[in-house]
């Protein structure tokens, strides 16, 4: 076993963090519409499948692998990917289909997962100097074709898992690169700030995954902040749904407006903050507020968002100053401190960070927690 040490506040995660919010799956499960019979059945199965995952958390903690076996060792900057096929079962990991360096296979889900893992590794290594999810070269493993029409994708603490979708509401979950980046970033958070998946710290956990998931896609496509869609899960909905994505960072609350699924419920500012006991205290709802703050910062600074804005958020997440239960105000102040340390107090980046949080109604007075 590696001799790597954990953050002093580390505790194993106890939340199952799927890309599809439970309130949306519950809505689909309750549908009584002949157009969505398969979707309703699939949502019910997905919710039932998620119960043991939520009960056991996201699997036992897998520590940073600083001492890889000789046949596993790779140079920093080189990902080590493996993609397995569950074949419609829920037994992980499934049958190994593609390993690092092997060519495309005839399965789009396998190829999309392989590419998405690689692009996520590339963003973290090339832009932030982070060697994989744990910073220590953790192999990137994924399983596709999980379950029967499983309507979700998740990070289980050691690997990515993708369902195929129901075909009526959802397409396959490998189709969106930022979904892959989002879920792997739950791993980055797990190995760094370990934000509690409840209330505002849980919404920040979700938001950080949206931020870096979006940056993975923008980096892969070479997009500027103005060129990016800022949509999370674009392409997941079939053409039967009136919607473009699960969430919009640019305009929370506008990602979908469907006569069957309802309207995207995310608030964009603290004026719309949702007090609820559902969804771990609204983690997928209120994440729209810090998401909007990041977009506003990236929009104000222009250029590519993985540079100054992404660096500020990365420094904040990995800097060691965040309490595991940090609230929006504490996180906002920490981003201000990170901007001041890297770019200077009163710099353009520092001022734009303050303005972004102020615009969404988050108090940025005082020092970081």
Can you read off the two tokens belonging to residue 205? Answer: 């956990």
Share of residues in the chain with pLDDT > 70 (%)? 88
Based on C-alpha coordinates, what's the Rg of the chain?
19
136 classed as catalytic: no
* pLDDT class of 1 with cuts at 50, 70, 90: very low
Residue 336, pLDDT score = 98
Query: Among 183, 217, 234, 349, which one carries the catalytic annotation?
Result: 183
* 125 pLDDT above the threshold of 60: yes
Lowest mean per-residue pLDDT among 69-83, 98-112, 334-348: 69-83
Distance of CA 281 to the CA centre of its chain: 18
Q: What is the pLDDT of residues 302-355, one digit of tens each?
A: 999 999 999 999 999 999 999 999 999 999 999 999 999 999 998 999 999 999
Query: Among 182, 186, 284, 350, which one carries the catalytic annotation?
Result: 284
CA dist., res. 178 & res. 330, Å (int): 26
Enter the pTM of the model: 0.90
Q: For the chain, what is the largest distance between any 2 Cα atoms, rounded to a whole number of angstroms? A: 59
User: Which of the pair, 80 or 157, is modelled with greater confidence?
Assistant: 80
* 10 pLDDT above the threshold of 50: no
CA-based end-to-end distance of the chain: 34
* pLDDT class of 91 with cuts at 50, 70, 90: very high
**Burial (CB count within 10 angstroms: exposed 0-12, middle 13-18, buried 19+), residue 369:** middle
Spatial contact of 265 and 192, defined as CB atoms under 8 Å apart: no
126 classed as catalytic: no
Question: Which domains are present in the chain?
Answer: 22-190 (3.10.170.10), 199-359 (1.10.390.10)
Instruction: State the average pLDDT over residues 133-159.
Output: 95
Instruction: State the average pLDDT over residues 51-56.
Output: 49
Task: Return the bridge partners of 162, or none.
Answer: 153
Q: What is the pLDDT of residues 159-194, one digit of tens each?
A: 999 999 999 999 999 999 999 999 999 999 999 999
Spatial contact of 47 and 26, defined as CB atoms under 8 Å apart: yes
């Amino acid at each position: 076993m590696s001799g790597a040490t954990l953050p002093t506040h580390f505790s194993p995660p106890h939340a199952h963090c799927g890309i599809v919010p439970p309130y949306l799956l519950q809505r689909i499960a309750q549908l009584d519409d002949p157009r969505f019979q398969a979707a309703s059945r699939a949502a019910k199965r997905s919710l039932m499948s998620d119960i043991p995952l939520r009960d056991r958390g996201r699997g036992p903690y897998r520590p940073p692998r600083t001492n890889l076996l000789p046949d596993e060792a790779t140079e920093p900057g080189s990902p080590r990917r493996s993609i397995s096929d569950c074949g419609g079962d829920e037994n992980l990991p499934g049958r190994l289909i593609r390993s690092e360096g092997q060519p495309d296979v005839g399965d789009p889900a396998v190829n999309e997962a392989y590419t998405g893992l690689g692009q996520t590794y590339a963003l973290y290594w090339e832009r932030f100097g982070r060697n994989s999810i744990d910073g220590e070269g953790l192999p990137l493993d994924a399983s596709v074709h999980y379950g029967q029409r499983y309507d979700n994708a998740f990070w289980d603490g050691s690997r990515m898992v993708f369902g195929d979708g129901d075909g009526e509401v959802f397409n396959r979950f490998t189709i969106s690169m930022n979904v892959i980046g989002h879920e792997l970033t739950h791993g980055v958070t797990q190995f760094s700030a370990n934000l509690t998946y409840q209330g505002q710290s849980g919404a920040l956990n979700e938001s950080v995954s949206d931020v870096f998931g979006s940056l993975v896609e923008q980096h892969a496509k070479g997009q500027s902040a103005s060129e990016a869609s800022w949509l999370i899960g674009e392409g997941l909905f079939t053409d039967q749904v009136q919607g473009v994505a699960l969430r919009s960072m640019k305009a929370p609350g506008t990602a979908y407006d469907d006569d069957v699924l309802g309207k995207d419920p995310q608030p964009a500012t603290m004026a719309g903050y949702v007090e609820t006991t559902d969804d771990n205290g609204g983690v997928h709802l209120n994440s729209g507020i810090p998401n909007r703050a990041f977009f506003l910062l990236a929009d104000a600074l222009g250029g590519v968002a993985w540079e100054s804005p992404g660096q500020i958020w990365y420094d904040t997440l990995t800097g060691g100053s965040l309490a595991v239960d940090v609230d929006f105000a504490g996180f906002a102040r920490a981003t201000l401190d990170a901007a001041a340390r890297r770019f200077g107090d009163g710099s353009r980046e520092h001022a734009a960070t303050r303005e972004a949080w102020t615009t969404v109604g988050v108090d940025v007075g005082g020092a970081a927690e």
